[in-house]
Structure 1
Amino acid sequence: MLKQQLRAISSLLTSITLIGICTGMTSTLLSLRATIENFGTLTTGIIMSAYFIGFLFGTTRAPKDIRRVGYIRAFGGLAALAAASILIQAIWIDPIVWFVMRFLTGFAISAIFVIVESWLNTMADNKNRGTLLSVYLVLIYGGLVAGQLILGITDPAGFIAFALVALLINLSLIPILVSVTVEPTSHEPRKVAIRSLLKLVPLGMVNAFIMQACYAMFYGIGPMYATYIGLSVAQVSLFMAAFILGGMLAQAPIGLLSDRIDRRIVMAFCAGSAAIMAFVLSQLDANVAWLIYLCVGLFGACALPLYSLGMAHTNDFLEKDQMVGATGAIIKVGGIGSIIGAPSVAALMQFGAVNYFFLLITVLTSIVCGYSLYRVTQRPKAGDQSHSAYAMLAPTQTSDELLTTLASEQEMLDEEYQEAQLDADPENDQRPSGGAST
């Protein structure tokens, strides 16, 4: 069943991999170009924060787009918006323009993530949701790594790097537009308030907020911390790559495990292991660089799967028509965590408490571990849910053919209905009048 689902959504996964490559390239590209243009540290920081502001707005808009035009059209429109915003930043090198365009990029990318994740959640069931989301995140992380490598062979001071990002975003449209794409049938999505999710699945909300804060800390401040403890520029690159690689390799096995046993137990194990690794990392310096790479890889392997585990756990307790709204709410909560997380640890480092970087992450992941174990005692494991119905949308089939097929099916139903009525009506009984039934 899982293999059939993966084949059915292979075009969607290809598209999101290309989006992941672009996401990996964009942040680093803009940071380097802002430095070249002498925007200043504070200005650059404000520009980069616009992405997360747009991220929050995108999570609200995506469910509306899905209800109005469907998954595929919504994906296409948002991808076009993201590509345009990137190209405008290459044409107009101005901090205000960049702030607005960065906002639009965050808006479009977050809405695309909502569309893809709600699409995947709708097509999955409790038996394979963790595995399916893990495959999705493995592709995202692989895209992030590939994006960094591609950026390394381009010149951030020129136009080509920006054009390449826009080109890849546009190419991401091709797989889902020109292939046989499986799209969930149209359940009318229900709005799901964050307050409702906090009551229904509190662990999912707490996990999303805390872990996205940790991710923002690591991605935003991690390179600065690595430099502080004495790692060179090349070593900092390995430090960040080890984190992503560890998460990428662990996603699928941990997701598969979570489909076999209670996800909350798996979440507690991963969060507890991440807390141990973070504490060990807080005690290391550049004299043992190889040990740092090993520990940060193990930290990524434990910490990065927690997002998909929390998402899968949340959707285990939802109806199909709640999943789109719930995905947007989860990403919104995570976005708030991202906005709060990085500035918080940056403030600590600004006042000289650099050594508290990994200690703060240790505390946060320990909270997730403890709360996961607590929730096991408060509620039974979610039961299995059946697969939803799917519509195969072949691009070669015309509207007339669809209408003809529907009309034929309706005629067959009408004939069956008329026959049933005749059988039920005694006045139309065709048996001989004097013949008693035997």
Structure 2
Amino acid sequence: MLRQQLRAISSLLSSITLIGICTGMTSTLLSLRATLEGFGTLTTGIIMSAYFIGYLFGTTRAPKDIRRVGYIRAFGGLTGLAAASILVQAIWVDPVVWFVMRFLTGFAISAIYVIVESWLNTMADNKNRGALLSIYLVLIYGGLVAGQLILGVTDPAEFMAFAIVALLMNLALIPILISVTVEPTTTTPRKVPISSLMKIVPLGIINAFIMQACYSMFYGVGPMYATYIGLSVGQVSFFMASFILGGMLAQAPIGMLSDRVDRRYVLAGCAGSAALIALVLSQLDASIPWLIYLCMGLLGASALPMYSLGMAHTNDFLEKDQMVGATGAILKVGGLGAIFGAPSVAALMQFGAVNYFFLLMTALTSIVCAYSLYRVTKRAKPVEQPQTAFALLTPTPTSEELLTTLAQEPNTLPPNAADDDDTPPTAAG
């Protein structure tokens, strides 16, 4: 059954793999080129944050456009928009132009993920949804790693690197446009207000904000930091790829562990490990690149699963009809964190020591570690229902089903969902 479904969506998976390669190349390419052009860390951080601002707008506007013109035509138009925005950045090397183009790229990529994941959810059933999403995630991470390695053999100062990204983006159009696939239907789930969710599972909200801030720091300013400590373009590619590869390999084992023990302990362990590794990385320089790659792989293995852990922990304490709306709220909070992350670390690097990059990541992950352990003392794990199965999630807004919640009226949560220290253990996490 799974094999038949994979054959049916092979064109879709091929397209998203190429999109992943382009996404992996673009952020590193722009960060390196901004360094060569002398934009400065703060300006670069602001430019890179435009991508995540575009993501937020994509989650509110793109679903409406998709319902209006259909999934296939929307995919084609959005992919073309993303390719054009990349080429414009190669032609006009200007901070203002780059900010606008990064916004458009974020908007387009957000909506593309909406289309792809809606398709996957339509094709899957409860018996194989986890397997399909796991394969999808592996392809995304594999594409991100491949994008870093391809960039390592190009020159970010030349037009060719931008042309390769645009070429691959346009090639991603071919598999999905020539395939015959039934478009997914839309749903209208109810919205869960962020304020209510903060009372129910505060750890989920705080973790989403902090970890998306860390991810945007890494993807937006990480390549610039790597060049500042003396790594070459090829070494920067391995620097970025090691982080992503570590996260890809660790997602499944950590997820299975969190299905067996209290997720808050697993989250605290990952956060504590990430804090220690980031502290070590803040003291390393380009003289021992192999050690940097090793530490980056360990950092990715610790940090990248944290977003999914927080999402699964949140769902553990919700009713089924609240889960979709709650995920939409968490995605919005995570988007705000992503906008905050890159400019913050860039400002610290602009006006202080370069190693503030990893020191800030140490501080942020330490907060998650401490708060996770604190929440263990305030609430027991859910005992009246089994934990929600861990789902491998990319740290980005996902399916259209989630995004349509933004257009719905807020849903009033049950009275027993309020969070205070006297609430029964099953009500909050």
Q: TM-score, normalised by structure 1?
A: 0.71
Structure 2 equivalent of residue 109 of structure 1? 109
Aligned-pair distance for 1:87?
Answer: 3.6
Alignment of 1:278-427 (within 5 A): 278-286=278-286, 288-314=288-314, 317=318, 319=320, 323=324, 326-375=326-375, 377-380=379-382, 383=386
Change (3 A) 1:359 1:157: closer
Q: Which runs of 5+ in 2 are unaligned?
A: 390-429
For 1:124 and 1:118, the matched residues in 2 are separated by 10
Q: How far 1:21 moved relative to its partner? A: 1.0
1:236-293 C-alpha deviation (Å, 9 max, x unpaired): 4433332222112222333344455554443333223222322333454555543333
Q: Note closer, same or farther for the CA distance 1:117–1:366 as it changes in structure 2 (3 Å cut).
A: farther
**Quick one: which amino acid aligns to residue 60 of structure 1?**
T
Aligned mates of 1:228, 1:83 — CA distance in 2: 29
Q: 1:307 to 1:176 in 2, by over 3 A?
A: farther
- Corresponding residue for residue 253 of structure 2: 253
What is the aligned partner in structure 2 of residue 427 from structure 1? none
Alignment check: 8 A CA contact 1:59 1:329 kept: no
**Contact in 2 for aligned 1:204/1:311 (Cα 8 Å):** yes
Q: Flag structure 1 segments of 5+ consecutive residues without an equivalent.
A: 387-438
Match of 1:21 in 2: 21
SS at match of 1:301: helix
Answer whether contact 1:133 1:312 (CA < 8 A) is retained. no
1:5-49 deviation per Cα after TM superposition (whole angstroms, max 9, x unaligned): 66665443332221111112223444455567x574366555434
The equivalent residue for 2:277 is: 277
Q: CA deviation at 1:70?
A: 5.7
- 8 Å contact kept, 1:25–1:151: yes
Partner residue in 2 for 1:83: 83
Aligned equivalents of 2:221 and 2:15: distance in 1? Answer: 29
CA–CA separation in structure 1 for the residues paired with 2:43 and 2:388: 49
Which one has the largest radius of gyration?
Answer: 1
Query: Any conservation in 1 of the 2:282–2:359 contact (CA below 8 Å)?
Result: yes
Check whether the contact 2:44–2:346 (CA below 8 A) recurs between aligned residues. no
Highest relative contact order (Cα 8 Å, sep 6+), 1 or 2?
Answer: 2
Residue 139 (structure 2) aligns with: 139
C-alpha separation between the residues in 1 aligned to 2:328 and 2:72? 17
Deviations 1:271-320 (A, max 9, x none): 23222322333454555543333222111111112223334444564647
Q: What are the Cα deviations for residues 314-339 of structure 1, in whole angstroms up to 9, with x where unaligned?
A: 4564647963x655543332222122
Inter-partner Cα distance in structure 2 for 1:159 and 1:233: 16
Distance change in 2, residues 1:165/1:228 (3 Å): closer
Count of equivalent residues: 384
1:81 deviates by 2.3
Determine what percentage of the aligned residue pairs are the same residue.
80
How far apart in 2 are the matches of 1:180 and 1:255? 34
Q: Is the 1:19–1:143 Cα contact (8 Å) retained in structure 2?
A: yes
2:404 matched residue in structure 1: none
Q: Which moved more, 1:78-87 or 1:251-260?
A: 251-260
Cα distance in 2 for partners of 1:141, 1:320 equals 30
1:208 deviation in Å?
A: 1.7
Measure, in 2, the Cα distance between the counterparts of 1:2 and 1:260.
26
